[in-house]
C-alpha cells in the first residue's frame, strides 16, 4: 500500500516468520530495532489473560536499508520469526471451514489455501503492519510533531462515554495503564469482565477502536478520489476483522441539521484559522484542516471459537466443528497498535505527496502553512 511511502507485508501465521518491506523511507534518519519493538510488544500475543496465549516474543530484525543506525534511503526489510506454531491445532480445519472466517473464501478464490493458522488471513499478518507503522510514526513525530494514538472505546455493549474522553490531553500511559487499553479505569474493568465472561464460555466478543491524530498539518489529502478519509478508510478496513469505519460525527451526524453539524470558523491568537467544534473530524473536503483527526473502527468478534458450530467440509458435506488452538476471545485491545500503524502509514504517504506537489515552490503565506509547523493549540471543546 502507498505511493511514496510504500509498504509490503509478507509471511504467514505458521510459516518461518512474518515481516514487511518499506520503500521510500527518507535517508539519514536514525532507526534501530528498539524504535520498532515497543509497538510490536503492544501487539504480540500472551501479554494478558484476555488475549491469545500463543507465546511469540515478536523480536524484530532489520535486514536491510539501515547502516550504522541510519536509514540509507533503500528498501527496509524487517523480519519477525515465528517461534511457537502448533500445526496440530488445525487438523479439523483442514477439512471443515470455520464460520465467518476466510477459510472458505480463500478456497473459492485460489482453489488452495494455507490451512495452519489461517495463513495470510491470520491476525499474525498485522505484525508487519505494526513494524512499518512504527517507522512511519517516528517520521511523523520528527518532521512535524504528529502524534497518532488509539484506544479501546467499546467492548460488546460496554461503551466509553465521549464526555469522559479528552483527545487534547490523553496520553499513551493512560491508554496502556490496563490490559483493555481503555483510558478510563472504571470502564476498563467492565470491558475486562465482559471478555473474561465470553472466554470462559468458549465464545468471543467484538468492540470499537477509536484513534486520533494530534498536530496534523493542514492540506493532507486530495479533493476527489484520494480524499484523506477515503485513504484512512481503505487502510483501516484492510485490517483483519474490521467491519465498520466512522470519522468525526460519523453516522450520528445524520441526525443533525446543517446548522447543528457545521463547524464554525474563527481566528485564534496565533492568527490561524480554526474551527470552534470538530464534527468534521479534522478533515473537510477530503483535506486535513489542522484540527484533531478522530475516527473509529468496528472490530467483529473473533471467528475462531471453542463452541460447536454448523459448517461444511471442502467436499461440501454438512458437519459440526469445534475448533482447538490458542485464539483471542477479543482482538480489540491488540488491534489498537495495528490501527495506529495503518493511520501513520497513510499520513506519511500523504505528507510526502503534499510536500512533492505543493511545497516545491514558495507557499502562499496568507493561506498556507509549512508542513513542519509544530503548533501548540489551546484547548477547545470537542463537540461530536
The pLDDT of residue 252 is: 96
The separation between the first and the last C-alpha atoms of the chain, rounded to the nearest angstrom, is 31
| Largest pairwise CA distance in the chain | 70
Residue 17 burial (10 A CB sphere; 0-12, 13-18, 19+): middle
* pLDDT tens, residue by residue, 143-157: 989 999 999 999 999
Q: What is the rounded average pLDDT of the residues 65-76? A: 98
CA nearest to 151, candidates 119, 183, 191, 118: 183
Instruction: Please identify which residue in the block is written with the cell numbers 514558495.
Output: 362
What is the model's pLDDT at position 123? 85
* pLDDT tens figures, 267-317: 999 899 999 999 999 999 999 999 999 999 999 999 989 899 999 999 999
Q: How far apart are CA 257 and CA 260, in angstroms?
A: 5
Q: What letters, b where the CB count within 10 A reaches 16 and e where it falls short, cover 31-49?
A: beeebbbebbebbbbeeee
Tens-digit pLDDT profile for residues 198-217: 999 999 999 999 999 999 99
**Residue 119 in this model has a pLDDT that exceeds 90:** no
User: Cα separation of 37 and 184, whole Å?
Assistant: 25
Question: The pTM is what?
Answer: 0.93
Residue 381 confidence class, pLDDT cut points 50, 70, 90: very low
The answer on pLDDT for 243 being more than 80 is yes
Beta strand 76-81 with 61-64 is antiparallel
Q: How far apart are CA 18 and CA 9, in angstroms?
A: 8
**What's the whole-number average pLDDT of the chain?**
91
Backbone angles phi, psi at 96, to 5 degrees: -105, 145
Residue 326 has pLDDT above 80, yes or no: no
Contact between 245 and 237 (Cβ < 8 Å): yes
Crossing angle of helices 33-43 and 126-144, rounded to 10°: 130
Per-residue pLDDT tens digits for 244-272: 999 999 999 999 999 999 999 999 998 99
Residue 362 has pLDDT above 80, yes or no: yes
Assign 48 a pLDDT band (cuts: 50, 70, 90). Answer: low
- Split at pLDDT 50, 70, 90, the class of 44 is confident
Q: What are 42's three cell numbers?
A: 503492544
Highest mean pLDDT (candidates 55-69, 81-95, 320-334): 55-69
Res 377 pLDDT > 50: no
Burial class (CB in 10 A: 0-12, 13-18, 19+), 360: exposed
Task: Find the range with the poorest average confidence among 27-41, 184-198, 365-379.
Answer: 365-379
What percent of the chain lies above the pLDDT cut of 70? Answer: 92
Percent of the chain past pLDDT 90, that is, above it, reads 78
Confidence of residue 380 (pLDDT cuts 50, 70, 90): very low
Amino acid at each position: 500500500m502507498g505511493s511514496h511511502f510504500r509498504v509490503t507485508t509478507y509471511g504467514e501465521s505458521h510459516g518461518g516468520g512474518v515481516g514487511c518491506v518499506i520503500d521510500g523511507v527518507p535517508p539519514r534518519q536514525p532507526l534501530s530495532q528498539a524504535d520498532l519493538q515497543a509497538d510490536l510488544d503492544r501487539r504480540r500475543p500472551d501479554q494478558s489473560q484476555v488475549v491469545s496465549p500463543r507465546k511469540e516474543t515478536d523480536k524484530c530484525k532489520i535486514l536491510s536499508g539501515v547502516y550504522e543506525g541510519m536509514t540509507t534511503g533503500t528498501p527496509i526489510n524487517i523480519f519477525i520469526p515465528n517461534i511457537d506454531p502448533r500445526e496440530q491445532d488445525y487438523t479439523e480445519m483442514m477439512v471443515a471451514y470455520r464460520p465467518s472466517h476466510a477459510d472458505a473464501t480463500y478456497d473459492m478464490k485460489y482453489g488452495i489455501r494455507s490451512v495452519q493458522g489461517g495463513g495470510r488471513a491470520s491476525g499474525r499478518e498485522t505484525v508487519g503492519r505494526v513494524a512499518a507503522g512504527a517507522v512511519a510514526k517516528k517520521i511523523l513525530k520528527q518532521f512535524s510533531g504528529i502524534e497518532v494514538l488509539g484506544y479501546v472505546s467499546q467492548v460488546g455493549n460496554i461503551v466509553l462515554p465521549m464526555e469522559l474522553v479528552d483527545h487534547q490531553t490523553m496520553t499513551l500511559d493512560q491508554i496502556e495503564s490496563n490490559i483493555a487499553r481503555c483510558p478510563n479505569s472504571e470502564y476498563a474493568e467492565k470491558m475486562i469482565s465482559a471478555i473474561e465472561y465470553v472466554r470462559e464460555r468458549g465464545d468471543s466478543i467484538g468492540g470499537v477502536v477509536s484513534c486520533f491524530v494530534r498536530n496534523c498539518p493542514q492540506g493532507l489529502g486530495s479533493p476527489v478520489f484520494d480524499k484523506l478519509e477515503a485513504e484512512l478508510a481503505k487502510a483501516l478496513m484492510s485490517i483483519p476483522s474490521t467491519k465498520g469505519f466512522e470519522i468525526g460525527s460519523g453516522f450520528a451526524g445524520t441526525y443533525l441539521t446543517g446548522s447543528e453539524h457545521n463547524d464554525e470558523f474563527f481566528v485564534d491568537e496565533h492568527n490561524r484559522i480554526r474551527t470552534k467544534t470538530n464534527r468534521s473530524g479534522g478533515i473537510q473536503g477530503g483535506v486535513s484542516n489542522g484540527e484533531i483527526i478522530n475516527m473509529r473502527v468496528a472490530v467483529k468478534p473473533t471467528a475462531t471459537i471453542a463452541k460447536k458450530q454448523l459448517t461444511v467440509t471442502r467436499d461440501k458435506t454438512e458437519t459440526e466443528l469445534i475448533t482447538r488452538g490458542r485464539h483471542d476471545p477479543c482482538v480489540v485491545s491488540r488491534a489498537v497498535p495495528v490501527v495506529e500503524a495503518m493511520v501513520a502509514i497513510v499520513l506519511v504517504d500523504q505528507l510526502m505527496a503534499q510536500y512533492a506537489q505543493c511545497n516545491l515552490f514558495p507557499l502562499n503565506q496568507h493561506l498556507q502553512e509549512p508542513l513542519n509547523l509544530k503548533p501548540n493549540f489551546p484547548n477547545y471543546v470537542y463537540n461530536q
